[in-house]
Amino acid sequence: MYRVRALTTVTYLAPMIIGVGLISLYPILYNIFISVTNQNLYHFRHYSFIGLTNYQSLLKTLDADFFIVLARTFAFVAICIPLFLALGMLNALALNHPAIRFKAFWRVALIVPWAVPSYITALVWKFFFNGEFGTFNQLYRVVAGPQAGLPWLSDPNWAFGSIVLANLWMSYPFFMVVILGALQSIPTELYEAAAVDGASAWRRFWAITIPLLRPALLPATVLSAILTFNTLNTAYLITTGGPFVSAAKPGATEFVMVYAFREAFQLFNFGYIAAFAVVIFMMLFGVTLGSLRFSGLVREEAR
């Protein structure tokens, strides 16, 4: 790290700072400004200041849309992440087993879902879940007779589960790669020593593997939790947030970003959703800062 003339520092930083300031930071500040106005479809050009009214209507009662959507998103994350972790772990352990041949082949084949663009993933699964022509119901009819059919996307709970399934398909490879990398860095001597001392395979897994995976797993889990919290493509493209039980309440798969997207670009409630964005952002930034401090990254940056 060295000191250079102030002018040099400014010249080097300028393109990035000006760019980020104008096209990343300015919109965020503008968003805060919109959040205290009543800008919407009817007041698009001639909007006025309404103070904190948007924040009030956001948080006024516990059955406000905000809390429903937030609770549903937390439930979604809480169900998804353990499933991602478990499936990623099983795959990584299988690929790391000494008896398994053609490891490179398995690794690439099992990572494929990660490489598929998410809008294509969403459309394929949407077709799978289709009530009449969908592959899953075609399969089900083979077993259950020609009139049968499961409500993959038409029942609220089924739709929620369907989105979890599609997300599991596209997200487990990330954990598989992270865990496999960490597994390969554990020295085999540890297992040999434990085996000599009479530890069972089960005990070796919990006493050696899990503790040594923790440093790699924690940041990956936080990152994946944030990405899952921000789910838009799979939910919106497969169900558009539905099924909707009543017109006044958010749909069964209307997660935070789906809600924001629909409110902004279908209902044009810009002021209200800008306030929503500010609150959600503060939560996410808190989590990001907390996890970085936790993993020591901030201290490293401060060198």
Partner 1 sequence: MRFLSRVVVPALIYAFLIAMLIFALFPVFFVVQAAFRPGQSLYSLTLSLWPDHPTWDNFVYIWTKIPFPLWLRNSLGVSVGTMVAGLIGSATGAYALSRFRFAGKQMTLILLLAIQAFPSVLALIPIYLILKTIGLVGSPFGLVLAYMSIALVFCTWNLKGYFDTIPRELDEAALIDGCSVSQAFWRIVLPLSVPALAVTALLMFLTAWNEWVMASVLLLDENTYTVPVGLWGLQNDYRVPWGYFAAASLIVSLPVMALFLGLQRYFRSGLTVGGVKG
Q: Which stretch binds partner 1 (CB under 8 A): 153-161, 182-190, 202-210, 274-282?
A: 274-282
How many CB atoms sit inside 10 A of residue 186's CB?
15
Q: How far is the CB of 75 from partner 1 (least distance, A)?
A: 19
Considering the rule CB under 8 A, would residue 215 count as an interface residue with partner 1? no
Interface residue with partner 1 among 74, 113, 199, 205 (CB under 8 A) is 113
Are the CB atoms for 185 and 278 separated by under 8 Å? Answer: no
Considering the rule CB under 8 A, would residue 24 count as an interface residue with partner 1? yes
Q: Which amino acid is at 14?
A: A
Cβ proximity to partner 1, 5 vs 248, nearer residue: 5
Are the CB atoms for 262 and 254 separated by under 8 Å? Answer: yes
Are the CB atoms for 68 and 141 separated by under 8 Å? Answer: no
If phi over 0 gives left and psi between -120 and 50 gives alpha, with beta otherwise, what is residue 254?
beta
Beta-bridged to residue 49, according to DSSP, are 37
C-alpha 161/C-alpha 177 separation (Å) is 25
Residue appearing with tokens 């698009």: 44
Q: How far is the CB of 162 from partner 1 (least distance, A)?
A: 14
Cβ proximity to partner 1, 184 vs 245, nearer residue: 184
Considering the rule CB under 8 A, would residue 27 count as an interface residue with partner 1? yes
Q: Which residues contact 254 (CB under 8 A, 6 or more apart)?
A: 69, 72, 235, 241, 242, 262
Are the CB atoms for 262 and 250 separated by under 8 Å? Answer: no
Are the CB atoms for 100 and 106 separated by under 8 Å? Answer: yes
Considering the rule CB under 8 A, would residue 141 count as an interface residue with partner 1? yes
Considering the rule CB under 8 A, would residue 47 count as an interface residue with partner 1? no
Interface residue with partner 1 among 94, 183, 207, 208 (CB under 8 A) is 94
Considering the rule CB under 8 A, would residue 260 count as an interface residue with partner 1? yes
Q: How far is the CB of 159 from partner 1 (least distance, A)?
A: 18
Considering the rule CB under 8 A, would residue 49 count as an interface residue with partner 1? no
Interface residue with partner 1 among 80, 174, 235, 242 (CB under 8 A) is 174
If phi over 0 gives left and psi between -120 and 50 gives alpha, with beta otherwise, what is residue 116?
beta
Q: Which of these, 157, 153, 130, lies nearest to 141 by C-alpha position?
A: 130
Q: Which stretch binds partner 1 (CB under 8 A): 51-59, 139-147, 155-163, 187-195?
A: 139-147
Cβ proximity to partner 1, 193 vs 289, nearer residue: 289
Report the site for partner 1 in 185-204 (rule: CB under 8 A): none
Could you say which DSSP state residue 37 is in? Answer: B
Considering the rule CB under 8 A, would residue 152 count as an interface residue with partner 1? no
Q: Which stretch binds partner 1 (CB under 8 A): 51-59, 69-77, 110-118, 192-200?
A: 110-118
If phi over 0 gives left and psi between -120 and 50 gives alpha, with beta otherwise, what is residue 244?
beta
Q: Which stretch binds partner 1 (CB under 8 A): 49-57, 73-81, 202-210, 270-278?
A: 270-278
Considering the rule CB under 8 A, would residue 151 count as an interface residue with partner 1? no
Site residue total, partner 1 (CB under 8 A)? 92
Q: Which residues contact 105 (CB under 8 A, 6 or more apart)?
A: none
Q: Which amino acid is at 295?
A: S
Interface residue with partner 1 among 50, 79, 123, 183 (CB under 8 A) is 123
Considering the rule CB under 8 A, would residue 223 count as an interface residue with partner 1? yes
Interface residue with partner 1 among 39, 54, 209, 239 (CB under 8 A) is 39
